[in-house]
A and B are shown apart, each in its own frame.
Chain A
Amino acid sequence: MSSESKFGDYGGQYVPEALMPAIEELTDAYERYVLDNEDGFMDEFRERLRDFGGRPTPLQRADRLSERYDREVYLKREDLLHGGAHKLNNALGQVLLAKYMGKDRIIAETGAGQHGTATAMASAYLGMPCEIYMGRTDINRQRPNVFRMRIHDAEVNPVDIGSGTLKEAINETMRDWATNVEDTHYVIGSIVGPHPFPKMVRDFQSVISEEAREQVRDQTGRLPDSVVACAGGGSNTMGTFHEFVPDEDVDLVAVEAGGSELTIDEDEDLAPHSASLSTGEEGVLHGARTKLLQNRDGQILESHSVSAGLDYSGVGPELAYLADEGRVTPVNVGDDAALEAFHRLSKLEGIIPALESSHALAYLEEAVLGEQADDLGDLVVVNVSGRGDKDLDTVIEESEKRDLDAAPSMEVFEGEQ
C-alpha cells in the first residue's frame, strides 16, 4: 500500500498516530466504494451530481476572448455548478462516502469559503451535521460565504491563530479530527493531506476533465493544444488536467498566485505570493510530502494572494510530481493581473469569475499578448473554476486601491442611500 500512497517521492501519510486507523479505514472505503463502485456508490454519486449539482457543466466558446487572442478559447463553466464552484464535486463525493462509512459528523476547513459552502450544502442535502473551520482573515474577506454556510445549518468556527488563513484552518480541523476521529469524517477541500485524500479528491474532481475532453472533441473535432487552470491546493487543477494527462500533445498549464512579488521576505518569514509549485521546496506539511513555502529551517511561511482560495503554503503532491516530471507547466501571475482579468471577463463575456479563476484567465493575456509569450496553441481550454460573487467586496476594494483602469466606477449614485 505504501507505494500506492505516493506520487514519486511525494505524498504519503504523515499524521498523528491517533488518526492512522481512521486513515486506513478511509483508504479501505476509497478502494471499495470509489475505485470498485461497491454498492453502486459511484453510480449514486454521479446521479446526485447530475440531479442536485447540475452536471454536466457547459464547455462554452468564448467569442470575444477568441477574437482578442486570435485563437479558439473555450471556457469550462464550473462556475455554473450548483453553489457556484467546482468544490461541490468533491464535497458531495466525500459527504456521501462518509454516509456509506457510517460516520455521523462532518468537519471541514475552508479558505475562500467555497469548499466550506459546498460541504455545508452537501451536508444539508444528505442530512449530516457539519462544522467548518475558517481563518479570521478569510472570514473578514469572504463574508457572503460565511452566511451561506450558516444558512445551510453549518457551524462556522473562527480560527485566530497565525495569519488566520487556510493553513491555520487546516491545522485546527486536524486537531478536531484527532479528538473526534471515531464518528467524524474530515472533508479535506483539495488534493492535499495524507493518502488517500489527494487521489480521492482528484477522482471526484476528474469529472471536470472527463466532460471537458469529450465536449471539446464533440464541439471542435479535436483535443485542445493547451488546458489552463489556476492552482492553489490544486483540486480544480488536477480535476481539469487528469483525463488529459495521457494526451501528451496537450500542454497542461497550472497558474499559481504570484501575489505582490515572487521573492520571499526572509526577515518577516513571509512569502508575498502563493506559488509553492514554482518556488517551493520539498517538505512535509498537513500529512503529505510535497512542495512548500518554507524557510531554511523548515518553518512554514505565511503565503499571500488577493484570492483567498489560492492563499496556501503548499500544493497537492500529485501536482508537485507532475511538475517535476515536466508534464505540468507551473506559471504564475500577480494580484494586479488577476484583478484585471476579473474585469476583462466580466466585460467581454458577461461572466464574473472567481478571483481564483481570474488567475488562469490572466495567464492567457500574459501568454498571448504580454511578457510571458508562451505558445498556447490554436485551441485553448480554460477552467472557470467558480463564480466571483463572493469576491465582489475584495475586488472593489483592491481595484480602488490600485486605481485600476479596467475597473468600472463603483461610486454610489447621487440621491441613493
Chain B
Amino acid sequence: MSSSIREAFADEPPLISYVAAGDPDAESTKEYVRALVRGGADVIELGLPFSEPIAEGPTIQQAIRRALDAGMTPDRYFDLVAELREDAEVDVPLVCMTYYNLIYQYGDSEAQRASDASGKTASEGREGPEPFVEAAAEAGISGLIVPDLPVDESGPLKSACEAHGLDLIFIVAPTTTDERLDRMLDRATGFVYVQGRLGTTGARSDVSTDTHVSLGRLDETDLPKAVGFGISERDHAREIVSGGADGIIVGSAFVDLIAEGDEVADRLEAKARELKEGALDGAEKVPEPEGK
C-alpha cells in the first residue's frame, strides 16, 4: 500500500516539520504552516495538544500550554485541518501527533455533542479510537503518531487506521529491542520515526551516536526512516541524512521561533529552507567543508 506520506520520500529526503496546532492561535498556525511549506517542508506534523504531554521537552510543553489556553480542542483541530487542506499553498500530507486519551475519548464526546445539539439524553458513545480516526480522515489527516501508545496496545487504533486509510507511524527508540522492533515493523506504515536520542523532544547542539546505531538496525527495512528528537541546524540535518536517514523531523527548533514571536513566518520559512538544504546536502554526500 502506498500512501501520500510515503510518496513524500520518493525523490529526496523530506523535511517533516512539527508545530502545535493553535499555538498561539489557529489563524497563526495556518500562516506558519504555509511558511514552512514555502521553506521546503514536505510533511507537516500538526500537534493536537494534550494536557499531559509526557514525551515532550519544555519547548513543546509550553507550546501545548499556549494552544490549550487559546482554546484548541479536537473539533477545532479538525476544522483547522480541513481549512489547511483547502489551502492551495499547503499541498503536503498532514500528520496528527497526539496522545491516546484524546483519541480514545473522542467517541464519547462525539455522542455527548450530538445529544447536546438534539436536546436528548446522551446515548453511549461509540467505543474506542474509531470515531477519532474517522473524523481525522474526513478532515484530511494522512497519518497518526501517538507517543504514549506502544505497539503492544495499538491493535484497536491500527484497525481503525486501516479502515480509514491512515498511516500509523511508530517511534523506534534507542532502547528498543530487536524483538520489539520486529513487532513494530509488522504494524508500521508511512515511515518509521527514529527517535534520535533518549529523553524528550527538544533542540540539541549535537547529533547523538544513538542515531547512527538505530539507523544501522533498520537497514533491512522497506519503510523509509525519518529521524527526530534534537535536530535544529543544517549540519545536524546533513549528518543524519548522510548517515542513512531517509528524512528528518524537526519540531522544537520551529516552536522556539514561534515562542519568540518575532517575524515568525519569515524565520520559519528560512529555518525550514536551511534544514531542507542540509538534508539535501546529506543525500548527495557532499564532503564536509574544510576547516569547520
Is B61 an interface residue, CB under 8 A from the partner?
yes
Is A300 an interface residue, CB under 8 A from the partner?
yes
The residue of chain B having its C-beta at the shortest distance from the C-beta of A1 within the complex is B152
Residues of B with C-beta under 8 A to A90:
none
Task: Report whether B52 and A167 are in contact in the complex, using a CB–CB cutoff of 8 Å.
Answer: yes
Residues of B with C-beta under 8 A to A285:
52, 101
Task: Report whether B177 and A21 are in contact in the complex, using a CB–CB cutoff of 8 Å.
Answer: yes
Task: Report whether A283 and B105 are in contact in the complex, using a CB–CB cutoff of 8 Å.
Answer: yes
Is B102 an interface residue, CB under 8 A from the partner?
yes
Q: How many A-B residue pairs have CB under 8 A?
A: 124
A20 and B150 contact, Cβ closer than 8 Å, known pairs A284-B104, A300-B51: yes
Bound-state Cα–Cα, A179 to B149, Å: 18
A21 and B175 contact, Cβ closer than 8 Å, known pairs A2-B152, A171-B52, A299-B68: yes
Interface centre among A167, A281, A296, A298 (most CB of B within 10 A): A298
Task: Report whether A161 and B198 are in contact in the complex, using a CB–CB cutoff of 8 Å.
Answer: no
Task: Report whether A14 and B175 are in contact in the complex, using a CB–CB cutoff of 8 Å.
Answer: no
Output the least CB separation between B208 and chain A (Å).
12
Is B227 an interface residue, CB under 8 A from the partner?
no
Task: Report whether A181 and B171 are in contact in the complex, using a CB–CB cutoff of 8 Å.
Answer: no
Task: Report whether A17 and B51 are in contact in the complex, using a CB–CB cutoff of 8 Å.
Answer: no
Within 8 A of A (CB), among B26-81: 50-55, 57, 61, 65, 68, 73-74
Q: Chain B interface: which size bin?
A: 35 or more
**Number of contacting residues on A, CB 8 A?**
38
Residues of B with C-beta under 8 A to A289:
104
Is B112 an interface residue, CB under 8 A from the partner?
yes
A179 and B200 contact, Cβ closer than 8 Å, known pairs A171-B52, A284-B100, A285-B52: yes
Residues of A with C-beta under 8 A to B151:
17
**Which 8 pairs across A and B sit closest by C-beta, in order of nearness?**
A298-B105, A179-B199, A18-B173, A299-B51, A284-B101, A296-B109, A298-B102, A298-B101
Is A350 an interface residue, CB under 8 A from the partner?
no
Output the least CB separation between B102 and chain A (Å).
5
Is A178 an interface residue, CB under 8 A from the partner?
yes
Kindly supply a per-residue 1/0 record for chain A positions 172-194, scoring 1 wherever the CB is within 8 Å of any chain B CB and 0 otherwise. 00110011111000000000000
Kindly supply a per-residue 1/0 record for chain A positions 11-29, scoring 1 wherever the CB is within 8 Å of any chain B CB and 0 otherwise. 0111111111110100000
Bound-state Cα–Cα, A286 to B51, Å: 12
Kindly supply a per-residue 1/0 record for chain B positions 160-179, scoring 1 wherever the CB is within 8 Å of any chain A CB and 0 otherwise. 00000000001111111100
